[in-house]
């Protein structure tokens, strides 16, 4: 069977087979060259795109401190209990994830004695889109729970304890409206179904919602860090590739003085209101030399710590959506009121400046005055009449009749112009935003908005701070500051300095002069004297604001306002001290009170006495006498 | 005495072939290890150890096949053929079902794929048949028809398993054997034309997953998470390897399991090599196969007789088809077919079949006429 046939015949065909095979191998080499060399970068990118994930690490917000370094807002550690879904026994189907997660949750609840629930939807979304991230089960748990957890963590596979920074306001509601609070950014929901970039795990920073937190958000929020992790095809993390630490936010130094703020808040809370009235009001304390806000307070108030995660939604909503009381409204800048008799200071200066009013102008007050053909007489707060009063007397007694008559002589244009010179009717430009313009009415304004002509009665009302006039407590504090410093309208500010985490000053707010009143210093001095008289005379309406050992100057105001609850009285006091070289200017307002003299002036006295460490003068005689 | 004779024969071996084979075996064990590596300290499947055992058994068979005169082996061609057909029938009846196909004959944990035996049996049987046809009849249609019938029976049996890839290997084997045996090119062209014409009919018989595999390489992004997954991940693995690769045990596609761990050590081992050693490594592997094939054809040319020549040609054709389809598949040149890479991919039956085939070639060389 062993035959030896020559194989030479097949040589050429074998060569062809060899060529075909050689060509085939060359095709493979060329394709390899194309894929690995020419397209190498492309596939390298695809490799990274599918296996690398960037995680954003939120940064710790910067501290907010007062002018002396007292910490008003910082961060504390929150202990959160979380579940790592990727560690839960490799579930292969969606339903299994949800089931295993709920079993783990049940184990956690049983171990810790808690009753937390998670929706299947949340678990699934988290599993599908943010698997390498911990799923938070409980936020900010108590130390007892932490202790129990640490003791029994071995019984709870897949569960872990992590620490996250949480915003804290050590003094609770102190300066709550001014500081503001933080919340989740609007428009970024937890539900990332619509999230455009699948490979980007977005952990939103908390953003400032109100006050300094909002206005200085870009300085406070810092720079988020990042972490690049490698994930497997199931989405689970298999290791960290690179990590960039989050940068802490900057420190905001306020002009606020925590001591003065506390004095102001206590004074507001201690106010003697007529029975049944709710405490609603505001107080602002400025340094009249600089425009620095030393204290700003609003009532009712709230505790900004409740906006932290972990606080039940009902508690938060009870504050946020309390339409009747609006506890988060900063009434010092976010609400406007008729300034009442405090505005007489402006009317008086307008008259003196125009030469229409002189200190010797005398008017006999009989308790009421008929103007034009108006059927009802315009009344004075003192229905019995003040009798004959000169300018100082009228300011001391806060006589309406005197200001009706002289005000009409000054005229609406001059009064309105002077009001605008003081910055009324426009934002003060304060650096925490949201402050209202208020309103300075003019005949043209009335025609446009009310469709009625202006008449003398409007001018008379405007002269005593009624009519359509509206101002915020901050604006009126600034009016007081302008009188205090002799006629310079300053821009009030709250942020004194921004400091980097390492302590270097990034920016410092400079004093901003908005305007110098184009009024002779003598006339300003006359009004200042009149304000001093109103407080220091035993029969002055502002005498309750007097402080022993301190020359206080000021003006009370009681403005009537028609509200849904009927006609109520706004109680005002604006003033400054010491008279000779003022260091403090203030405004105090109560929305619904008895009168400026009885309600606001004593609060102002308590504030000033506290600031200058004096005791308020309790020597005033018949309380009933000093009404306005 | 007898021993001395065998030593004499061994000394006549083609050492190019041996060295190339050993090199591929070493690469195989290294990268099967890498393909099942999960990271330091992680438990991993011991595929590489199993492969070493297969190689050990394979080497014994290789030496035996090399020492036995191929002409004696071919005298038993009808028996081998009958046994192969028997095994193919048996697997359809009693085979183990894996992923919906009956391809395995198993005894306990030990299993073989009869289709691998069939490939060898067809090479031997067709070579034997063509060798025994008088040269003039090789230019006749009947010879072509007979060869097609010889290969057609096992091909049909493998198709119904179904294992389209293995069945297709028989086609280039037969074409190469007939071509080298001297069948008219015109006849071969007609056969190929008829095959292509019948392809649409065959297409309709395909199962959905087979259609998906065949079409996905035309547009891998059509279904990137389904049928396109393996192809896409393999392309990313090979492509991201670049010129010099990511380094041994550093292939992230492989390590993280993007390249599915079930296929990385076998059908997609070349993707692991491409990712970790880059173009340089990939080209080396292609080069090693080039040496293997050209030496194989050299042996075919220098064979003592036409039988040895045909045997060597058939083996080279089979191995080349496997290499071309497999590497082509990992880089998107070819449809996805479950064809392993000779000597590299993990898997016992094909390792043994390949080494038996290489032993046969070696036998052809050892028993060549030395002038």
Each residue of A383-400: pLDDT tens digit?
888 899 999 999 999 999
Q: Is the CB of residue A382 less than 8 Å from the CB of residue A365?
A: yes
Q: Which residues pair with B104 in a beta bridge?
A: B96
CB contact under 8 A, A42 and B258: no
Measured between CA atoms, the residue of chain A closest to residue B225 is A233
B297 touches chain A (CB under 8 A): yes
pLDDT of residue A189: 44
pLDDT of residue B324: 95
B98: which 2 tokens? 């894996």
Stretch A294-309: mean pLDDT: 92
Question: Which residues lie below 8 Å from residue B36, measured CB to CB, with a gap of 6+?
Answer: B44, B45, B46, B47, B48, B261, B264, B265
Q: How confident is the model at residue A128 (pLDDT cuts 50, 70, 90)?
A: confident
Stretch A279-301: mean pLDDT: 96
What is the residue-averaged pLDDT of chain A?
A: 86
Stretch B334-346: mean pLDDT: 86
B283 touches chain A (CB under 8 A): yes
pLDDT of residue A111: 83
- SS3 of residue A337 by DSSP: strand
Q: How confident is the model at residue A78 (pLDDT cuts 50, 70, 90)?
A: confident
Kindly give the pairing relationship between strand A200-201 and strand A363-365: unpaired
Instruction: Give Rg (Cα) of chain B.
Output: 21
Q: Report the residue from A24, A50, A230 with minimal CB separation from B320.
A: A24
Question: Which residues lie below 8 Å from residue A571, measured CB to CB, with a gap of 6+?
Answer: A281, A556, A557, A558, A589, A590, A593, A594, A595, A596, A598, A599, A600
A19 touches chain B (CB under 8 A): no
pLDDT of residue A77: 83
pLDDT of residue A617: 58
Whether the predicted pLDDT of B74 surpasses 70: yes
Taking only residues 78 to 137 of chain B, the set having a beta carbon closer than 8 angstroms to any beta carbon of chain A reads 131, 135
| B49 Cα to chain A: minimum distance (Å) | 26
Q: How confident is the model at residue B326 (pLDDT cuts 50, 70, 90)?
A: very high
Tell me which chain B residues have a C-beta less than 8 angstroms from the C-beta of A25: 286, 289-290, 293, 323-324
A15-29, A88-102, A332-346, B357-371, range with the lowest pLDDT: A88-102
Tell me which chain B residues have a C-beta less than 8 angstroms from the C-beta of A17: 176, 179-180, 297, 313, 316-317
pLDDT of residue A616: 61
Q: Report the residue from B39, B240, B327 with minimal CB separation from A43.
A: B240
Whether the predicted pLDDT of A203 surpasses 70: no
CB contact under 8 A, A31 and B333: yes
What structural domains does chain A harbor?
Answer: 55-85+92-141+161-254 (3.90.1310.10), 258-625 (3.40.710.10)
pLDDT of residue B227: 61
pLDDT of residue A401: 93
Between CA A181 and CA A175 the distance in angstroms is: 11
pLDDT of residue B1: 59
A197-206, A320-329, B32-41, B309-318, range with the lowest pLDDT: A197-206
Between CA B226 and CA A323 the distance in angstroms is: 55
Whether the predicted pLDDT of A94 surpasses 80: no
Q: Is the CB of residue A297 less than 8 Å from the CB of residue A175?
A: yes
CB contact under 8 A, B176 and A17: yes
Tell me which chain B residues have a C-beta less than 8 angstroms from the C-beta of A23: none
Percent of chain A clearing pLDDT 70 (strictly above): 90
Cα dihedral across residues A455, A457, A460, A461: positive or negative: negative
B176 touches chain A (CB under 8 A): yes
pLDDT of residue B130: 93
Q: How confident is the model at residue A565 (pLDDT cuts 50, 70, 90)?
A: confident
3-state secondary structure A145-183: HHHHHHHHHHHCCCEEEEEEEEEECCCCCCCHHHHCCEE
pLDDT of residue B108: 56
Tell me which chain A residues have a C-beta less than 8 angstroms from the C-beta of B179: 13, 16-17
- A interface test, pick of B231, B234, B240 with most A CB neighbours within 10 Å: B240
Q: Report the residue from B180, B282, B323 with minimal CB separation from A36.
A: B282
Strand order in the sheet with A584-590: A292-299, A281-287, A584-590, A566-577, A553-563
Taking only residues 236 to 265 of chain A, the set having a beta carbon closer than 8 angstroms to any beta carbon of chain B reads 238
Q: Is the CB of residue B254 less than 8 Å from the CB of residue B230?
A: no
Query: Who wins on pLDDT, A563 or A592?
Result: A592
Model pLDDT for residues B114-166, shown as the tens digit of each residue: 999 999 999 999 999 999 988 888 888 999 999 999 999 999 999 888 888 88
pLDDT of residue B160: 87
A231: which 2 tokens? 């994930």
Whether the predicted pLDDT of B58 surpasses 60: yes
pLDDT of residue A7: 43
CB contact under 8 A, A28 and B286: yes
Model pLDDT for residues A13-54, shown as the tens digit of each residue: 999 999 999 999 999 999 999 999 999 999 988 888 777 777
B332: phi > 0 → left, psi -120 to 50 → alpha, else beta; which? left
Whether the predicted pLDDT of B10 surpasses 90: no
Q: Which residues pair with B111 in a beta bridge?
A: B106
Q: Complex ipTM, two decimals? A: 0.93
Whether the predicted pLDDT of A192 surpasses 50: no
Q: How confident is the model at residue A157 (pLDDT cuts 50, 70, 90)?
A: confident
pLDDT of residue B216: 66
Kindly give the pairing relationship between strand A52-57 and strand A200-201: parallel
Model pLDDT for residues A220-251, shown as the tens digit of each residue: 988 777 777 777 776 667 778 788 887 889 99
Q: Is the CB of residue A469 less than 8 Å from the CB of residue A343?
A: yes
CB contact under 8 A, A4 and B181: no
* Whether the bond into B329 is cis, omega within 30 of 0: no
A29-38, A295-304, B83-92, B221-230, range with the lowest pLDDT: B221-230
């Amino acid at each position: 069977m062993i035959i030896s046939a020559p194989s030479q015949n097949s040589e050429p065909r074998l060569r062809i087979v060899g060529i075909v095979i050689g060509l085939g191998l060359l095709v493979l080499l060329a394709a390899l060259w194309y894929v690995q060399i020419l397209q190498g970068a492309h596939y390298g990118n695809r490799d990274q795109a599918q296996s690398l994930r960037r995680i954003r690490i939120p940064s710790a917000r910067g501290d907010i401190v007062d002018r002396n370094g007292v910490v008003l807002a910082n961060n504390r550690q929150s202990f959160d209990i979380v579940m790592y879904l990727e560690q839960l026994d490799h579930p292969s189907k969606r339903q299994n994830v949800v089931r295993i997660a709920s079993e783990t949750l049940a184990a956690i609840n049983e171990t810790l004695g808690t009753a937390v629930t998670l929706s299947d939807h949340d678990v699934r979304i988290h599993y599908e889109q943010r698997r390498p991230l911990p799923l938070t089960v409980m936020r900010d748990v108590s130390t007892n729970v932490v202790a129990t957890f640490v003791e029994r963590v071995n019984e709870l596979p897949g569960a872990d304890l992590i620490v996250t920074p949480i915003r804290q306001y050590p003094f609770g509601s102190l300066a709550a409206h001014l500081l503001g609070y933080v919340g989740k950014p609007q428009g970024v929901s937890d539900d990332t179904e619509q999230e455009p970039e699948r490979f980007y795990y977005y952990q939103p920073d908390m953003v400032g919602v109100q006050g300094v937190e909002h206005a200085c958000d870009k300085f406070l929020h810092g720079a988020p860090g990042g972490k690049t992790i490698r994930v497997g095809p199931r989405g689970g993390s298999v290791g960290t590739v690179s990590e960039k630490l989050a940068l802490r936010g900057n420190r905001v130094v306020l002009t606020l003085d925590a001591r003065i703020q506390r004095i102001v808040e206590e004074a507001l809370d201690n106010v003697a209101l007529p029975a049944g009235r709710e405490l609603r009001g505001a107080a602002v304390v400025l340094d009249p030399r600089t425009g620095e806000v030393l204290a700003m307070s609003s009532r009712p108030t709230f505790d900004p710590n409740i906006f932290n995660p972990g606080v039940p939604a009902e508690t938060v909503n009870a504050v946020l959506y309390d339409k009747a009381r609006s506890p988060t409204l900063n009434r010092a800048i976010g609400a406007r009121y008729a300034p009442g008799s405090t505005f007489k200071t402006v009317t008086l200066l307008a008259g003196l400046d125009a030469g229409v009013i002189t200190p010797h102008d005398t008017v006999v007050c009989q308790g009421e005055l008929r103007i034009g053909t108006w059927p009802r007489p315009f009344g004075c707060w003192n229905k019995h009449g003040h009798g004959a009063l000169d300018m100082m007397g009228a300011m001391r007694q806060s006589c309406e009749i005197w200001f009706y008559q002289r005000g009409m002589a000054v005229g609406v244009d001059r009064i309105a112009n002077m009001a605008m010179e003081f910055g009324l009717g426009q934002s003060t430009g304060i650096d925490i935003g949201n402050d209202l313009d208020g309103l300075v009415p003019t005949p043209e304004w009335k025609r446009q908005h009310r469709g009625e002509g202006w008449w003398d009665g409007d001018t008379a009302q405007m002269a005593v701070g009624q009519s359509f006039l509206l101002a915020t407590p901050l604006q009126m504090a600034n009016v007081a500051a302008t009188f205090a410093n002799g006629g310079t309208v300053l821009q009030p500010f709250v942020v004194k300095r921004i400091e980097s985490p390492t302590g270097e000053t990034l920016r410092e707010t400079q004093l901003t002069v908005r305007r110098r009143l184009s009024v002779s210093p003598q006339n300003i001095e006359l009004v200042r004297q009149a304000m001093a008289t109103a407080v220091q005379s035993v029969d002055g309406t502002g005498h309750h604001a007097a402080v022993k050992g301190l020359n206080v100057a000021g003006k009370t105001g009681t403005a009537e306002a028609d509200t849904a609850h009927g006609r109520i009285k706004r109680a005002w006091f604006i003033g400054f001290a010491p008279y000779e070289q003022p260091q403090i200017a203030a405004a105090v307002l109560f929305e619904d009170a008895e009168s400026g003299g009885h309600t606001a002036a004593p609060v102002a006295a308590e504030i000033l006495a506290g600031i200058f460490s004096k005791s308020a003068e309790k020597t005033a005689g018949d309380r009933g006498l000093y009404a306005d | 005495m007898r021993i001395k004779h065998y030593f004499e024969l061994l000394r006549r071996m083609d050492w190019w072939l041996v060295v190339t084979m050993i090199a591929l075996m070493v690469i195989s064990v290294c990268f099967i290890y890498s393909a099942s590596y999960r990271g330091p300290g992680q438990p991993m499947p011991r595929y590489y150890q199993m492969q070493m055992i297969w190689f050990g058994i394979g080497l014994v068979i290789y030496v035996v096949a090399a020492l036995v005169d191929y002409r004696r082996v071919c005298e038993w061609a009808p028996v081998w053929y009958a046994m192969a057909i028997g095994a193919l029938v048996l697997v359809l009846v009693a085979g183990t079902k894996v992923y919906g196909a009956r391809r395995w004959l198993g005894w306990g944990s030990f299993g073989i794929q009869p289709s691998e035996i069939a490939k060898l049996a067809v090479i031997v049987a067709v070579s034997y048949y063509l060798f025994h046809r008088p040269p003039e009849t090789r230019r006749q249609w009947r010879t072509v028809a007979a060869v097609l019938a010889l290969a057609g029976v096992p091909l049909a049996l493998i198709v119904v398993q179904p294992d389209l890839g293995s069945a297709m290997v028989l086609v280039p084997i037969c074409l190469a054997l007939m071509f080298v045996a001297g069948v008219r090119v015109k006849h071969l062209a007609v056969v190929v034309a008829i095959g292509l014409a019948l392809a649409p009919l065959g297409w309709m018989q395909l199962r959905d997953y087979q259609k998906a595999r065949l079409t996905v390489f035309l547009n891998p992004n059509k279904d990137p998470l389904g049928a396109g997954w393996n192809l896409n991940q393999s392309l990313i693995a090979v492509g991201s390897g670049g010129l010099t690769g990511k380094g041994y045990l550093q292939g992230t596609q492989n390590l993280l399991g993007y390249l599915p761990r079930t296929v990385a050590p076998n059908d997609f081992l070349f993707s692991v090599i491409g990712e970790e050693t880059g173009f340089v490594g990939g080209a080396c592997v292609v080069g090693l196969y080039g040496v293997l094939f050209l030496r194989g054809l050299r042996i075919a040319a220098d064979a003592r007789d036409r039988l040895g020549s045909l045997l060597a040609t058939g083996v080279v054709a089979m191995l080349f088809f496997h290499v071309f389809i497999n590497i082509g598949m990992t880089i998107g040149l070819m449809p996805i077919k479950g064809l392993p890479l000779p000597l590299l991919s993990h898997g016992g039956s094909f390792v043994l079949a390949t080494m038996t085939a290489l032993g046969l070639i070696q036998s052809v060389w050892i028993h060549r006429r030395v002038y």
